[in-house]
Amino acid sequence: MSQKELIQISIILGVSLFFGLGYNVIRDDGIPLIAKKKVYEQADITELERNATKVKLEPIIKIVDLTMTKELYDRGFTFVDARDEIEFSEGHIKGALNVSSIQLAELISFDDPIVTYCSGEDCELSITLAEELADFGFSTIFVFSGGWPEWESADYPVEME
């Protein structure tokens, strides 16, 4: 690349930067320049009881720990595994559905609570999935932060395919 091209590219990038940022400032629905991850609150059991009877307008996404996840599991909540099909087939929470193979809306109603999980603390798939489900119309989504490793080491029900 010659110096002439470098100058031309810099000008095109500079003009784009100016218009990109400028248009974002003047429009009503501009977005922040640095994307920040949303942090979700931890849920507790009492809250679950309250929400069960409340009419919800905003979708609720809450983080749940192992104890509460087991409680939700025992109550028969729908579990959705956000990992890929291979990891899913190697072992998952018993009765969980795999995200890549389901049409969730055909199986449960938008008001039914869902629990999502993936492969633990470093995995963001369960949060991403929860946000997508909320966008799609599901009202209550719990994210099991410990995910598959924590569930498996607690010796709770699992299955393989």
**For residues 41 and 85, which CB has a smaller minimum distance to other proteins in the complex?**
85
Within residues 64-83, the interface with other proteins by CB under 8 A covers none
Single out the residue of 26, 28, 31, 49 in contact with other proteins (rule: CB under 8 A). Answer: 31
Nearer to other proteins, 48 or 97 (CB): 97
Q: Does 36 bind other proteins (CB under 8 A)?
A: yes
Residue number, 22 or 157, with CB nearest to other proteins: 22
Length of the chain measured in residues: 161
- Asked if 95 touches other proteins (CB under 8 A), the answer is no
Which region, judged by CB under 8 A, interacts with other proteins, from 35-43, 57-65, 67-75, 141-149? 35-43
Spatial neighbors of 35 by CB under 8 A, at least 6 apart, are: none
**Interface with other proteins, residue 58, by CB under 8 A:** no
Rounded to an integer, what distance in angstroms lies between the CA atom of residue 160 and that of residue 145? 21
> Which residues lie across from 140 on neighbouring strands?
60
CB of residue 25 to other proteins, shortest distance in Å: 10
What residues have CB less than 8 Å from 114, skipping those under 6 apart? 77, 78, 79, 80, 104, 108, 130, 133, 138, 140, 141, 142
Task: Tell me which residue of 59, 81, 57, 58 sits closest to 69, measured CA to CA.
Answer: 81
Give the range of 31-39, 57-65, 68-76, 136-144 binding other proteins by CB under 8 A: 31-39
